[in-house]
Structure 1
Amino acid sequence: MSKPVLVGDVGGTKIRLALASSSLGHVQLHNIKVYDDPTIPSFEDAIEDYLSSSDVKPKSALFALAGPIADDGSIKLTNRTWPRVVPSVIQSRFLIDSATIVNDFAAMARAIPEIPNDSFETVIESHFSPEGPILVTGPGTGHGVSTLIQSVTGGWHVMTGEGGHSAFAPRNMREAAIRDVIARTYNYVSVEMIVSGRWLMPVYEAICELERVTPEDLSPQNILDRADAGDKVCVEVCKFRANALMGAVGDAALITGAHAGVVLTGGVAERMVKWLRTTEASDRFLERGPMSPFLAHTPVSVLMHDEAPLIGAAALALE
């Protein structure tokens, strides 16, 4: 068994920390701890709490954080108000020989080959096994995008970007009207602002305005429950977001040539499986005009595995 490595996954809502090791080529996680307290003042404070309760003092660490990595390896998280996270500061404070920061969707993508098939829910099935890149993308608090490519030697390479912040492209007049209501306040309307958890209420409120009804203070689960019961506004919220997500995912798959498959991740995608499987949503992914055959055999699935980014961080750290 390899020496333990401290790994972490930090999104806009939760922090997960664990010790990772490798045995016979398989990643193993130990002592997983989840923090969901929004008042934690910094990432370093979470690390401090975790290490204070552990008898193991790791000498290396790799953390997957939601945001673009700067040239010096530091990161300012997109959906948190924390100070910038700097690897050298972590090394000095916790006497760690090496600390590395990667984009959270680099870890999410790298986890895919390590996770069993029964952790995936099929959205669009394919009876073919095409070779090529795998697009790993999805809405949680924000919306991440990455591409996983297998090398000729059998290893894996991950490419990340900030595709969630690409512009939302309406497909009809109603979608354009919803976009325009949101744009009055925020000007630029990205895909993330339409499909992610953080932006659910602006979408709901925009549809309420167009329907001339007063918005209520609803939780995401309230909206899903009301949609299941046939509430007109909540049904449109779910359909609109599912269609928008599948449309954006189809765009990204077309751009990256993701013949080997698309994996949707994140808590929002997990809760939207029913709506993503509708014919209307599937058509948003598949209909590409003259290029529709390009995606005709690309499978789409939803990953149902809370520890995936930790597994991916461990795989990256232990490679």
Structure 2
Amino acid sequence: MKRALVGDIGGTNARFALWENNRMHSVQVFATADYTSPEQAIGAYLQAQGLSKGDLGAVCLAVAGPVSGDEFRFTNNHWRLSRQAFCKALQIERLLLINDFTAMALGMTRLQPDERRTVCAGEPETGRPAVVIGPGTGLGVGTLLGLEDGRWMALPGEGGHVDLPVGSAREAQIREQIASETGHVSAETVLSGGGLLRLYQAICALDGQPATLQSPAAITDAALAGEPLALAVIEQFCRFLGRVAGNNVLTLGGRGGVYIVGGIIPRFAELFLRSGFADSFAEKGCMSGYFKNVPVWLVTAEFSGLLGAGVALQQAG
């Protein structure tokens, strides 16, 4: 049987690996800005691995955005993909395209014990959905459900684009300040890399402070150094994430637990663990008791999306 390739393509980076005997190896990361198409990036990966077109039997790509039809247009980068043209260009027999958070959700089934940290203690209920949510270039939300035959179902969706929930007068002011610049304010408008900068600018405007920091990384670094305004921004970011995650648990009956993934939160993990996330997560009035014993984990595994793409290939047979 020919080896397969798995890929996890986000707005900023594309990660590729080989999948053989239901295991992943030879991971490499490519900047999407450096390549005109996924075919070109995969060609560079194959060359680096000493492989040629036609050496792959199948490819599974986890992609950011809704998947349907022959052509896929990536949500947060300039790439496009035609299934037919892709298979012809790389001489592959089968291409499986799945939503990136479908892959991320499936990747949770391969987590090792040392690849997650407890945010809220609890025990996942068997047979109940788990929520997978992660701020990165955008905000991804997925659902993981165990099936009776031991397989896993990941439900794709676009939950990052729900309206941003607010739980206080201050948060309402922040939302209105952002709305004056962007119009509609989705959860992703704030809970993403660009959203962190947007949140900082809104808080500066409300408090009459100069917005001197110019990037999400600069805000994170300032918070880690103890700068009060940056700390307040990170705290508010975590509280908004708690509200969105809690809403998903209520909507889905997600008592199987919540996995916090993505590239942003691990950069300030200790601040996150000490933040008001847990309070906002369960702050649901008469339904606050619903969250008792619902576990929340911060995932530290580096390539969960790639692993999930492999699981998708494995389950597809």
Q: Which category describes the TM-score, using the shorter chain as reference length?
A: over 0.9
**Paired residues, what number?**
311
CA contact 2:197–2:219 (8 Å) conserved in 1: no
Structure 2 residue ranges without an equivalent (≥5): none
Match of 2:40 in 1: 45
Match of 1:29 in 2: 24
**1:1-319 pair list within 5 angstroms:** 3-22=2-21, 27-36=22-31, 38-56=33-51, 57-70=55-68, 72-82=69-79, 84-126=80-122, 128-131=123-126, 132-278=128-274, 280-319=276-315
Query: Separation in 1 of the partners of 2:209 and 2:129?
Result: 44
- Counterpart amino acid of 1:168? L
CA contact 2:133–2:141 (8 Å) conserved in 1: yes
Query: Separation in 2 of the partners of 1:19 and 1:230?
Result: 42
CA contact 1:136–1:147 (8 Å) conserved in 2: yes
Query: Separation in 1 of the partners of 2:282 and 2:34?
Result: 43
Query: Separation in 1 of the partners of 2:71 and 2:312?
Result: 17
CA contact 1:275–1:281 (8 Å) conserved in 2: no
Q: Which runs of 4+ in 1 moved over 6 A?
A: none
Post-superposition CA distance 1:240-273 (Å, at most 9, x none)? 1000001100000111111111001001121243
Query: Separation in 1 of the partners of 2:175 and 2:195?
Result: 12
Query: Separation in 2 of the partners of 1:99 and 1:267?
Result: 27
CA contact 2:7–2:309 (8 Å) conserved in 1: yes
Q: Per-residue deviation at 1:148?
A: 0.6
Q: Per-residue deviation at 1:54?
A: 3.3
Q: Per-residue deviation at 1:129?
A: 4.1
Identity of aligned residues (%): 32
Query: Separation in 2 of the partners of 1:279 and 1:245?
Result: 11
CA contact 2:62–2:99 (8 Å) conserved in 1: yes
> Partner of 2:72: helix, strand, or coil?
coil
Q: Per-residue deviation at 1:175?
A: 1.1
- Alignment RMSD (CA, Å): 1.6
Query: Separation in 2 of the partners of 1:225 and 1:121?
Result: 22
Query: Separation in 1 of the partners of 2:211 and 2:190?
Result: 17
- Counterpart amino acid of 1:67? G
Closer, same or farther: CA 105–284 of 1 in aligned 2, 3 Å = same
> Partner of 1:59: helix, strand, or coil?
strand
Query: Separation in 1 of the partners of 2:45 and 2:92?
Result: 14
- Counterpart amino acid of 1:271? R
Q: Per-residue deviation at 1:93?
A: 0.7
Query: Separation in 1 of the partners of 2:295 and 2:131?
Result: 10
Query: Separation in 2 of the partners of 1:134 and 1:74?
Result: 30
Answer with 272-281 or 30-39: which moved more.
272-281
Q: Per-residue deviation at 1:219?
A: 3.6
> Partner of 2:264: helix, strand, or coil?
helix
Structure 1 residue ranges without an equivalent (≥5): none
TM-score (norm 1): 0.92
Post-superposition CA distance 1:290-312 (Å, at most 9, x none)? 22222211100111111111111
TM-score (norm 2): 0.93
